[in-house]
């Protein structure tokens, strides 16, 4: 038997082709050519049906394409071939998360953690799955595991803060969010959680301040709505109206925003405070040198709770 010239040096003539096909599939996937990637991946699977890397890639392609059931099937197939693949378990779990199958997602992380007990991704994602299931204490235990290994993990601090907020431990939540924002000052999720915390504590000044910061990174109708209600609390009807209008522009069906806008308009007829350059309005701190020099200090004292 005579082998083709390019493969004569190899024991298995298909290895070269398999490697080239996989490389082409990966390249196409990296360039966003999902169709091309799937085509090459199909060839790879035909060449070697028990090739876990090809099935993993297939899972990623399907997931990116929005075909979540297909992704779940592909990841499951990859795991049948190689049950110890971290990428496989993480892929399967995230696909399950996308379709809201949180319990199965948690099981996938448990399986992965049996193989890789120090997987940061698995611990933090397991915590998120438990959070989604409402098991906040167990979620916190997962985040603590992550923080034990990586104390500088901003996302773990933020997630722990969010879970503590759900459990009603406002002080603990504030501490965790402080840590998260200290480690990553531009961390949107931590800012958004801070907004929710201050809103819960009815500290309108801080709510507006952190909502403003979060909105610089990403707009969300709920954030505009929360900012609007905080402005109402500070008796700033014009700013409240603007916030509700923006919330309605992003989500025209929001009944809360519409009701807020009505309230703001009513307030506007009687009261409208102008804060000027003081973005900290409503956050008065007695003894602070900045507050001592403030021109609207008397008004700030009235609205700061």
Partner 1 sequence: MSLPSLAEVEHSDWPSLQRMCETLGLNPKGRSAIVRMRVADYVRHRAHPPSWRPAREHQAALLTRLGHPDLAERVWESTIQLEAPAPRVGLGHAQLAGGFLAEAAKSFARAAQMGDASGELHRAEALAAGGDYQGAATACETYLATHARDLRALLMKSSFLARSGFEEEANKVLHTAAELHPEVALIRRTLGLALLRTGHHAAAADALQEAVHRDPKDVDAVVGRGAALLLAGRTREAIGVLREALEIDPKRADALNNLGVAYRAMGRTKSAAVNLERAAKHRESPRILLNLGKVLEEAHEPAEAVRAYEQVLKLRPKDSEAVAGRKRVGVSAKARRTPRKRVASPRKAAPTTRRKTTPSSEATTS
CB atoms within 10 A of CB 168: 10
3-state secondary structure of 138: helix
Residues ≥6 apart with Cβ < 8 Å to 194: 174, 177, 181, 206, 210, 214
Q: Which of 245, 272, 271 is nearest to 260 (CA)?
A: 245
Minimum CB distance to partner 1 smaller for 80 or for 217: 217
Least separation in angstroms between residue 48's CB and partner 1 is: 13
Backbone angles phi, psi at 4, to 5 degrees: -60, 150
Binding mask 60-99 for partner 1 (x = CB under 8 A): --------------------------x-------------
Give yes or no for a contact between 52 and 85, defined as CB atoms under 8 angstroms apart.
Answer: yes
| Binding range to partner 1, per CB under 8 A, among 16-24, 98-106, 166-174, 250-258 | 16-24
* Residue among 91, 243, 283, 303 that touches partner 1 (CB under 8 A): 283
> Contacts with partner 1: how many residues (CB under 8 A)?
24
| Binding range to partner 1, per CB under 8 A, among 94-102, 234-242, 250-258, 286-294 | 286-294
CA distance 72 to 70: 5
Minimum CB distance to partner 1 smaller for 254 or for 283: 283
Minimum CB distance to partner 1 smaller for 71 or for 284: 284
Minimum CB distance to partner 1 smaller for 120 or for 133: 120
* Residue among 6, 19, 219, 302 that touches partner 1 (CB under 8 A): 19
CA distance 276 to 291: 15
Give yes or no for a contact between 129 and 106, defined as CB atoms under 8 angstroms apart.
Answer: yes
Tokens, residue 262: 């009505």
**Where on the chain is the footprint of partner 1 (CB under 8 A)?**
19, 22-23, 53, 86, 118-120, 149, 185, 209, 277-280, 283-285, 288-291, 293-294
């Amino acid at each position: 038997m005579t082998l083709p010239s390019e493969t004569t040096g190899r024991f298995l003539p298909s290895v070269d082709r398999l490697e080239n096909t996989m490389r082409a599939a990966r390249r196409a996937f990296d360039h966003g050519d999902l169709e091309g990637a799937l085509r090459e991946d199909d060839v790879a699977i035909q060449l070697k049906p028990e090739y876990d890397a090809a099935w993993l890639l297939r899972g990623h392609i399907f997931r990116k394409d929005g075909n979540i059931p297909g992704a779940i099937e592909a990841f499951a197939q990859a795991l049948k071939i190689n049950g110890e693949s971290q990428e496989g378990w993480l892929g399967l779990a995230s696909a399950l998360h996308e379709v809201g199958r949180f319990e199965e997602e948690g099981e996938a992380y448990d399986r992965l953690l049996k193989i890789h007990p120090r997987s940061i991704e698995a611990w933090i994602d397991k915590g998120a799955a438990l959070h989604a299931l409402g098991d906040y204490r167990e979620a916190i235990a997962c985040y603590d595991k992550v923080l034990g290994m990586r104390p500088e993990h901003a996302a773990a601090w933020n997630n722990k803060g969010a879970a503590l907020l759900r459990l009603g431990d406002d002080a603990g939540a504030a501490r965790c969010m402080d840590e998260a924002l200290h480690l990553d000052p531009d961390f949107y999720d931590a800012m958004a959680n801070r907004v929710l915390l201050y809103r819960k504590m009815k500290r309108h000044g801080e709510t507006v301040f952190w909502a403003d910061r979060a909105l610089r990174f990403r707009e969300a109708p709920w954030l505009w709505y929360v900012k609007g209600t905080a402005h109402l609390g500070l008796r700033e009807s014009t700013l409240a109206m603007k916030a509700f209008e923006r919330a309605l522009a992003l989500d025209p069906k929001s009944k809360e925003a519409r009701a807020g806008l009505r309230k703001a308009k009513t307030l506007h007829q009687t009261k409208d405070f102008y804060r000027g350059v003081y973005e900290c309005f409503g956050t008065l701190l007695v003894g602070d040198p900045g507050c001592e020099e403030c021109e609207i200090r008397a008004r700030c004292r009235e609205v700061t709770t």
